[in-house]
A = this chain, B = another copy of it.
Amino acid sequence: MHVRGDRQGIISLAAADAFLLQAALMGCIAFETHPSRYRHWKLDVQGEIATLGMQVAEDGGLVPGYALKLNSYDLGVDIELADAIQRLRFSHPAVRALVITSLRDRVFSAGANIFMLGQSSHAFKVNFCKFTNETRLYLEEMSRESRIATLCALNGTASGGGYELALACDEIVLVDDGAAAVSLPEVALLGVLPGTGGLTRVVDKRRVRRDRADFFSTTAEGVRGQRAAEWSLVDEVVPRSRFQVRVRERAEALARSSDRPAGATGIELPPLRRREKEDGVEYGHVALAIDRARRVATLTVRAPREQQPTSPEELLRAGAEAWAIAAWRELDDAVVHLRLNEPESGLVLLRTEGDAETVLAVDRGLVEHRAHWLVREILLLQRRVLKRIDLTARSLYALVVPGSAFAGSLFELVLAADRAYMLADEAGANAVALSPLNHGLLPMSSGLSRLEARFFGQGERVATLLAHAGPFGAAEALAAGLVTFAPDELDWDEEIRLAVEERAAMNPDALTGMEASLRFVGPETLETKIFGRLSAWQNWIFIRPNATGEKGALTVYGRAGQRPEFDWRRT
């Protein structure tokens, strides 16, 4: 079943059933927004310190059926948060610290809205959690790499996803008023896990002792006051009378350690050039084409067609129109659109078009000037987009044909793909190329570069490849292990057709699990633990009758007089 709403999200009233309604509205979730249009957050920039104030509009849910009380959130709230983080990085280079707080009295956030979760499909729940996890990780990356440190000022209780948002900040200050607590009530109240990295961050990041974490994570009311600080659940508890002053002090201290440039001017991030069509989305440099009958999407990225800025000054002048920003913002949008709005396109064919030399020239400029704040942000943007692709639960085949531009930063798409097919053309024109950007500036979540992951444990081989001058023809690329198969012109069509058909016919769940295992070879990080271990468990729990069955804990939550019933068999 595939139901699509129109572009404004207005759907036929005949689709009254909640599932249809949601599926219809899911067809047009938009990921673009702007601070002037935020309904749930207020972004306030005062010199070095920015404040993001949460004040979720109760009636501002993305779909009907639930009220966003007590600063609980849905995907729409998180889309605004992700937007604010992105804009702080690009548009506010003078900001050196961010305070996240609530604009409501005595409540920080009640976390993900339970009734929203209860009415959502499994696929939506999983993708909602993935998006919010990415946003939390962006906060951590922003602190570590962009040097905008983060402080969460808990002026009231933070529950579940609300506390998980705090956990993603560098520091947490909790008001000590005898009432405000931090809690992860999911296990005890809802029969599911905290879905946004909470368990992992409590023990791995904040190093809360595991037995205390066990007590905390099974105690619905949470922990408050001195015990919260003693257990390292927060960094400090402060009486209400001194709260604002103390938050300010700590934010200023955080700001002092930043290397962000005083007095620099940022760049605006204008709306994307984006045109939604019946069978896909057309952007300035990117195209997403959906073949619904075959359940195959084709994602094409075009190399720059015009002379690109290379110096920081030129990049500042060009702003978000620069290919290095525009194409990657578009790619990011296409990927999240695919995830949420095109759930049945299980296989994505990755293509590029244009002049590889122009990509390599852009790469060279970025590498040369990578110490400049804006260039740093551009590289981080590309890194995030590529990570988002690694973490997308779709099969990825890269198709390298003559006229493509799989070079440097765009060659990362080949390295991100589950397989790469390269046409061994008679003319010998088909080629791929590496650039210094493949040398670790665009790492995966595991911390490895995609080349390192591909040749895991073979450091010398990676070094030899990076030292290779010039492009690789099909035979060379195959011999070097840069592509999987290199069929000739006679075989190409049939081989691709078969590979596509076979893949699109397999159990999509098994493919998701398989890809998550094969893509992330080698070391695990907090990030991969969250997406691998924690999310996999959460997905399992979400689909079990004990959570989402008729008598499941998530299903009956909030229903008067109903209590969950469990199958007690442990697995």
Contact = CB atoms under 8 A, between A and B. Distances in A.
A199 B514 CA distance: 7
Contacts of A127: 571
Given A204-B522, A537-B536, A570-B393, A553 B507 contact: yes
Contacts of A484: 211-212, 214-215
Interface in A521-540: 521-524, 529, 532-534, 536-540
Contact of A533 (B204, B532, B569): B532
B417 A211 contact: yes
Contact of A544 (B211, B458, B515, B543): B543
Nearest to A499: B215
Nearest to A540: B540
A508 B503 CA distance: 35
Nearest to A455: B209
A566 B518 contact: no
Interface stretch (A92-100, A159-167, A188-196, A307-315): A188-196
A512 B571 contact: yes
A547 interface: yes
B123 A547 contact: no
Number of copies: 2
A282 interface: no
Interface string A443-462: 00000000001111110000
Nearest to A507: B191
Contacts of A518: 199, 202-203, 210, 213-214, 217
Nearest to A420: B211
Scoring A191, A457, A515, A518 by chain B CB atoms within 10 A of each residue's CB, the highest score goes to A518
A519 to B, nearest CB: 7
Classify chain A's interface size: 35 or more
A513 B540 contact: yes
B199 A517 contact: yes
Contact of A453 (B190, B210, B215, B420): B210
A3 to B, nearest CB: 12
Contacts of A86: none
A546 interface: yes
B217 A509 contact: no
A272 interface: no
A514 B566 contact: no
Given A199-B517, A211-B484, A518-B203, A509 B546 contact: yes
Contacts of A121: 569
Given A122-B571, A215-B484, A516 B533 contact: yes
Given A533-B533, A570-B344, A571-B393, A510 B123 contact: no
A200 interface: yes
7 contacts: A214-B418, A393-B570, A509-B571, A532-B532, A532-B536, A533-B536, A536-B540
Nearest 7 Cβ contacts at the A-B interface? A191-B507, A513-B537, A536-B536, A524-B524, A199-B517, A540-B540, A343-B569
